[in-house]
Structure 1
Amino acid sequence: MIILQAQQVGRSFDGHELFSRVNLEVQDHSRIGLVGPNGVGKTSLLEILAGVNPPDSGQVTMSKSATLGYLAQDSGLDSSRSIFDEMLTVFEPLMAMETRMHELEAAIADPTTADLDGVMKQYDQLQHDFAEQNGYGYQAEIRNVLHGFKFDEETYDMPIHNLSGGERSRLALAKLLLERPDLIILDEPTNHLDIDTLGWLENYLKNYAGAVLTVSHDQYFLDHVVTEIYEITQHHAEHYNTNYSGYLKQKADRQALAWKAYEKQQAEIDKLQTFVDKNIVRASTTKQAQSRRKQLEKMDVLDRPINDNQRVHFRFTPDKPSGNEVLSVDDATVGYEADAPMAGPINFKVKKFDRIAIIGPNGVGKSTLLKSILGQIPFLAGSAKFGANVLTGYYDQDQTQLHLNKTVLSEIWDDHVTTPEKDIRGILAAFLFDENDVQKSVASLSGGQKARLELTKLAMNHDNFLILDEPTNHLDINSKEVLESALADFDGTVLFVSHDRYFINQLATQIIAISPDGSQTYLGDWDYYQEKLAEQQAVAEADTTETTAAPAQAAVAYQQSKEDQRQQRKLQREVDQLEAQLNDLESKADVIQTQMTADDVLTDYQKMQRLQDDLDAVNAQMAETEHQWEEKSLALEAMQ
């Protein structure tokens, strides 16, 4: 059954068309994600679909029997009640039924009650309805949802007006889920949620009885919750029956087919037009030319494929390579007070080309760890040591490295005074800062613009070791994907803190999980980390049950076999990557050697010396890569 339908819906703002001709359909149990570039009006479309605002064109219809719940972005619950009492308001009809049942019970027990049979029938019917509507379990349902959003029983009596903005936002979402409308419309529901809560919400929404329509910048959330994607652009809405990763592939395939069809038709048009131009005035071929002209006039000309997504364009390019040993953190404890440490002891090593994600619960000291590594905050215990030739670049999630009183242009130019202004403007343009933006004060920028400005500074410093604290905060999906690609292609090393699971999956080769008791290393991405946690939980549960020694040994052997298989796959990936690096380095060496044979180089000692230095650096890197390849290949052969 169709719950909601949008037909040819459009919205304009100050004469500027945000979107038009949007057609969208929500069925029972739909799981739909809306995606599109920033500024296209996704929030405006949600408000139209939710009935908050009317469309400028088109119409939205909804089933008369269906109920709808809408949660705006960053909207918080405003109430003078306590947390639990506010959740109880959702179930006021059930509470009224419960009160009436107690009244009927009292009447049944009263020997003076007239028409006892009628009272009994009324009570039976009411009790049946009460049970059907989960009357005996609604308080447990409240507790389950509150627990999922990190509100434990000690918080139930807290007044809502004393909570933070993020906590009130989580409560607003909790209350909406308890209301159980037929269609939930959510605008960025993953804001203010930590990784554990995100996982709980994903499972809840996957099993939700109604339909879900959501806007989110969290690709992992979209991958694991939605089964349909509508891409909203200025010109139309494109529908994909898949999750986010499937949408990316299908979109690329559609774009390729659209270009192929367009180019084929353009070639046909050119061919027909050329014939017409050459033959229309010749008596012997006039009829054929007129026939082809009619073909051209009747032809349904395809529009040139366009990409509505304006994208950032940048790369991270280190000036010089680091040594193989990049960083060693040994028995480190982080925090601000010796008698109240946040986490420790923390131990891990960072090797050249590693992509290491640091994860952990909120407040455990992940950002503090990065600042301690950089020497901004002293360790309570332990140490961090950098390797040879390591040049560190730091991205601060709080954006404290930006100067709010400067313009965008001076923020960059002041650090690179010898770079021509036109080059600075060109670099800023690659990060989507236009002519008007570059004269704005840094203080006036949005969170996303400040994030892009800080990335601009980072890219221009050409460091070989990037330390990033929540780099995807404030970035839209397009910018996050560009950042993922730039870091994946970076010829250096990356250590980053993130709660973005998709970003971790795309980038991480290792995960360092931080807890108050210390750290644990996992050699893989987010999905691998989840597998290991599941295995550890299974082993822990098995240890609590009475088992014989033989089954326990079998379980260990099974786990070891799986671990060996994973390690073998990991080694194979590393060998393949090193082979690809060797091919790239050999190509670089060939290019340099060709340049060294040029006439102008053979007669210029300085040019020849610079090229020789470049060749020596490439050869040294090749030697190091070959050494790593030999080690990994031998280890792989030993496991086969």
Structure 2
Amino acid sequence: MILQLNGISKSYLGDPILSNITLKLERGDRMGLIGVNGAGKSTLLKIIAGDLPYDQGEIFMGKGVKVGYLKQDSGLQMEQTIWSEMLGVFTELLKVEQELRELEAQMSEPSLVHNPDKFEQIMTRYAGKADWFTQQGGYDIEPKIKSMLNGMGFGDIPNDTLIKKLSGGQKTRLALAKILLAQPDLLLLDEPTNHLDFETLNWLENYLRVYQGAILIISHDRYFLDALVHEIYEIERTKGTKYSGNYSQYVESKAKNRQLLEKKYSMQQQQIAKMEDYIQRNIAMATSSRSAKNKRKQLERVERIDQPQKDLKHAQMAFAMDKKSHKEVLKVRDLEISFKVENIQKTLLRNISFDLYRGDRVALIGPNGVGKSTLIKALLKEIEPDSGVVAWGHGVTIGYYDQEQATLDPDNSVLHEVWSAFPTIEEARVRTVLGNFLFTGEDVFKKVSSLSGGEKARVALAKLILQKANVLILDEPTNHLDLFSKEVLEEALLKFEGTLLSISHDRYFLNKLAGKMLELTPSNVTVFQGNYDDYVLRNIRN
């Protein structure tokens, strides 16, 4: 047994966050922890890691179990270099290595020639420490670190780079690399796939598939959950429910369980109504009073099924267009984009040519840093390319979703942020749309600056829907959304009759929506027909 939770409960200011959470993990288990934003997933990981106290219940950890916990905040030492931070995993081994060097120095002292007993003592100590050092992999420290850094996408970054100079995504990857290097018995991972490109995602999935310990993972990456986990633990309305299988199997199981429960509840209600009717009609009659009283005792013994709760309220989306665009939506020819670094002009992209046609569903893919978002800015005329042609077709209206939500004014209220963009629309219509995105009552007066990442994403999507554009350009649209909001967004985009161009690392999203993939490299763009799985299969064959 690696971990067992019995009846864990946690409240904040009297409001329950977690109620009677019970689960068990054995070595080799892979469990996905899911639930809407704010359900208590990260709270549960903090409790297991010992970072947060709990109100009730018991936690049992196997003897000597080592825990690795990846927080959303990396916890790295910003003044350290990449290499020194990784070496920190092997502090004990490095200490013994230093002791071995000191013992070697002692053994080489000329005075020991005349003191064989002391020499023997040093040799014995040296042999014991050397054996332990070898068994613990002391001679493999450097290759282990190099292999891990390469796998996590640091192969081209100098090892002496200071951590404070890394991007947010690089810090997340480095924190994950450090935890994996330590090879703990229990991995607690909170959104480990954020900021990972396809190559690193695939490497991580393969690494974790054969990992010897147990894994409890919070992730909104449905493709990742499908590839890795054997069980899903859902926290909903403070309580936990376990499902066997991966994410797709969970979706199917939950729907079947709900239908079965609703059917059982309905049948029991009909049975109870019949019994109550019989009792009421016969209780006062001399000939059937005794039978009615027996029926009443039977009714009292019935173990009543609770009425199934309605689904949690989720955002509602529908993308409409004011008008159709011309068949030829976009023509890009020989685009070249450069940027200046220390007064030196460096080329980022060149030879970029492709077309978009009405109704296309296109995904722009490529490694992190290749220039996908920069290309989008060039298409939107936000930056001027060095050369080439960007020609939009007739009747094109563009709606743009920025993953950073940089266009949102932090000082605006939610209502003012949306309404000010569409001042001719009546307030009731704006409030209706905001209500569809779960901003009701006083929520519409919240300042944008106070919103969570998921709430800001919903504000940006509300504005996009009101725009009624016939071309949607989406930069990482599923970031910050919980699993259920992602499903709603995808269903809405599937019904959208216009043209879709998206940047996304969400492989589940790409499989569902993309009909064409544009793979971007610094020197060209390659067009692949089909979705993400088709793209992977074609690359394997080639």
Does the pair score TM above 0.5?
yes
Q: Distance in 2 between matches of 1:113 and 1:243?
A: 66
From the CA coordinates, give the structure whose radius of gyration is larger: 1
Instruction: Decide which of 502, 505, 512 is 1:496's aligned counterpart.
Output: 502
Partner of 1:24: 23
CA displacement 1:316-336 (0-9 Å, x = unmatched): 122333333322222222344
Q: Would you say 1:320 and 2:323 are equivalent positions? A: yes
Partner of 1:70: 69
| Bigger relative CO (Cα 8 Å, ≥ 6 apart) | 2
Instruction: Decide which of 355, 365, 375 is 2:371's aligned counterpart.
Output: 365
Is the contact between residue 470 and residue 498 of structure 2 (CA under 8 Å) also seen in structure 1?
yes
Q: Would you say 1:82 and 2:81 are equivalent positions? A: yes
CA displacement 1:203-226 (0-9 Å, x = unmatched): 222222211111112222222222
Partner of 2:278: 275
Offset of 1:80 from its aligned partner? 4.0
Q: Distance in 1 between matches of 2:101 and 2:144?
A: 22
Is the contact between residue 67 and residue 188 of structure 2 (CA under 8 Å) also seen in structure 1?
yes
Q: Cα–Cα, structure 1 residues 419 and 532, in superposed 2: closer, same or farther, change >3 Å?
A: same
Instruction: Decide which of 136, 139, 162 is 2:139's aligned counterpart.
Output: 136
Pairing 1:287-298 to 2, within 5 Å after superposition: 287-298=290-301
For residue 314 of structure 2, give the secondary structure of its aligned residue in structure 1: coil
Instruction: Decide which of 193, 203, 207 is 2:196's aligned counterpart.
Output: 193
Is the contact between residue 233 and residue 308 of structure 1 (CA under 8 Å) also seen in structure 2?
no
Q: Would you say 1:181 and 2:184 are equivalent positions? A: yes
CA displacement 1:454-476 (0-9 Å, x = unmatched): 11111122222211112112222
Partner of 1:624: none
Pairing 1:3-22 to 2, within 5 Å after superposition: 3-22=2-21
Instruction: Decide which of 224, 238, 247 is 1:244's aligned counterpart.
Output: 247
Pairing 1:206-605 to 2, within 5 Å after superposition: 206-307=209-310, 309-336=312-339, 339-536=345-542
Query: TM-score when scaled to structure 1?
Result: 0.78
Q: Cα–Cα, structure 1 residues 126 and 259, in superposed 2: closer, same or farther, change >3 Å?
A: same
Q: Distance in 2 between matches of 1:332 and 1:81?
A: 40
For residue 385 of structure 1, give the secondary structure of its aligned residue in structure 2: strand
* Deviates most, 401-410 or 237-246: 401-410
More helix, by proportion: 1
Q: Cα–Cα, structure 1 residues 330 and 66, in superposed 2: closer, same or farther, change >3 Å?
A: same
Is the contact between residue 82 and residue 159 of structure 2 (CA under 8 Å) also seen in structure 1?
yes
Is the contact between residue 394 and residue 467 of structure 1 (CA under 8 Å) also seen in structure 2?
yes
Amino acid in structure 2 at the alignment position of 1:259? E
Structure 2: which 5+ residue stretches go unaligned? Answer: none
Is the contact between residue 328 and residue 357 of structure 2 (CA under 8 Å) also seen in structure 1?
yes
Is the contact between residue 79 and residue 86 of structure 1 (CA under 8 Å) also seen in structure 2?
no
CA displacement 1:22-51 (0-9 Å, x = unmatched): 111111111111001111111111111112
Amino acid in structure 1 at the alignment position of 2:399? G
Partner of 1:51: 50
Q: Distance in 2 between matches of 1:484 and 1:295?
A: 49
Q: Percent identity?
A: 44
Q: Distance in 1 between matches of 2:437 and 2:415?
A: 12
* Deviates most, 121-130 or 298-307: 121-130
Q: Distance in 2 between matches of 1:350 and 1:401?
A: 25
Count of aligned residue pairs for this structure pair: 535
Structure 1: which 5+ residue stretches go unaligned? Answer: 537-640
Offset of 1:193 from its aligned partner? 3.0
Q: Cα–Cα, structure 1 residues 76 and 197, in superposed 2: closer, same or farther, change >3 Å?
A: farther
Q: Cα–Cα, structure 1 residues 10 and 130, in superposed 2: closer, same or farther, change >3 Å?
A: same
Is the contact between residue 7 and residue 58 of structure 1 (CA under 8 Å) also seen in structure 2?
yes
* Deviates most, 61-70 or 96-105: 96-105
Is the contact between residue 76 and residue 170 of structure 1 (CA under 8 Å) also seen in structure 2?
no
Offset of 1:272 from its aligned partner? 1.7
Is the contact between residue 331 and residue 382 of structure 1 (CA under 8 Å) also seen in structure 2?
yes
Q: Cα–Cα, structure 1 residues 235 and 106, in superposed 2: closer, same or farther, change >3 Å?
A: closer
Q: Distance in 1 between matches of 2:350 and 2:122?
A: 66
More strand, by proportion: 2
Is the contact between residue 37 and residue 308 of structure 1 (CA under 8 Å) also seen in structure 2?
no
Q: Distance in 2 between matches of 1:16 and 1:384?
A: 54
For residue 315 of structure 1, give the secondary structure of its aligned residue in structure 2: coil
For residue 193 of structure 1, give the secondary structure of its aligned residue in structure 2: coil
Partner of 1:565: none
Offset of 1:402 from its aligned partner? 2.8
Q: Cα–Cα, structure 1 residues 535 and 112, in superposed 2: closer, same or farther, change >3 Å?
A: farther
Q: Cα–Cα, structure 1 residues 418 and 290, in superposed 2: closer, same or farther, change >3 Å?
A: farther
Partner of 1:114: 116
